[in-house]
Structure 1
């Protein structure tokens, strides 16, 4: 784990180029195909666990996977690299404007049983594929309103963005096709 000071330094360096970035390549399926212009740092919290993580390392990727696990079923999956890029890009964008934003993870991977319990949609991008890769996450941040974060996620042009206003979080997924919806 990197120190808070080192994390803030790296985010600040990455944020210097963030406003000039065009939306990153939606075809990058893994770290090997990812562009170097996108920062690989995330500041996440799930319950009482909070970490600042460089997910480009094996240890960092495992830490992110753990924080985005299905808590109800205690199952760990593999977050799609593009989802992590989108979230780190959003954090770098905010950092470029002086807002260092921790993301509070509400949901990442969901097993079919957990997904049925919470929403029941069979085509959810929270569900893992045969390689345990999931392509969606729900989060909120104390640094910015959910409406703003949803609009920022839409700006990345990576996939679905759901606005959950009464529950004050957003959903992002990397399905490729850009769609938005609003729910209570």
Structure 2
């Protein structure tokens, strides 16, 4: 299969997943949604069932929030459950058993300011500070494949950072860079 065909098929899979994720039949059929994460800075891992029988699981979300905390100062906040749903959809799409790697989850305003001063491409009003953004990679999945799948969901922002080896997704307006 040629690279172009592979990417096109990946976009089709992503669109199918996005459409299926919003259908009432799919919601009824898919009762449990599990997400497995690993923070690349702390090495912490968690496997959590965020939805069970159609209900958000508060204790499982709290475990995910802990792994998604600002590793620079250990501050954490409640992450938008819709972001976790996007992440779970991507993980499920690629069918990977290895944890999704978190490069940057929640960022305190202080950490965001430090990163803005030392790194290019960090937004002053970053959605990371609101618990609505994450920078991720999935072992065994190319950054381009992950970006294409995230774009196909048509949910929030998608940033492509091939040189740094990650994709940014968020629950803000639909846009990409």
Same fold (TM over 0.5): yes
- Match in the other structure for 1:172: 169
- Match in the other structure for 1:149: 146
Pick aligned residue for 1:53 from 33, 48, 52 = 48
Is residue 40 of structure 1 aligned with residue 33 of structure 2?
A: yes
Higher percent of residues as helix: 2
- Tell me, yes or no, if the aligned pair for 2:18 and 2:154 is still in contact at 8 Å: no
Displacement, 1:39?
Answer: 5.0
Measure, in 2, the Cα distance between the counterparts of 1:179 and 1:167.
20
The alignment covers a number of residue pairs equal to 146
1:15-56 residue CA offsets vs partner (Å, 9 max, x unmatched): xxx95551646xxxxxxxxx5548521110013211211123
- Tell me, yes or no, if the aligned pair for 2:18 and 2:153 is still in contact at 8 Å: no
Unaligned runs of 5+ in 2: 1-14, 51-55, 117-121
Distance 1:20 1:171, change over 3 A: closer
1:108-137 residue CA offsets vs partner (Å, 9 max, x unmatched): 111111011113522211112xxxxx1100
Greater RCO, CA 8 A, separation 6+: 2
Measure, in 2, the Cα distance between the counterparts of 1:76 and 1:102.
20
- Match in the other structure for 1:125: 127
Is residue 88 of structure 1 aligned with residue 88 of structure 2?
A: yes
Measure, in 1, the Cα distance between the counterparts of 2:89 and 2:62.
19
Displacement, 1:87?
Answer: 0.5
- Give TM-score scaled by structure 2 length: 0.74
| RMSD, aligned CA | 2.1
- Tell me, yes or no, if the aligned pair for 1:23 and 1:156 is still in contact at 8 Å: no
- Tell me, yes or no, if the aligned pair for 1:39 and 1:92 is still in contact at 8 Å: no
- Tell me, yes or no, if the aligned pair for 1:136 and 1:172 is still in contact at 8 Å: yes
Unaligned runs of 5+ in 1: 1-17, 26-34, 129-133
- Give TM-score scaled by structure 1 length: 0.72
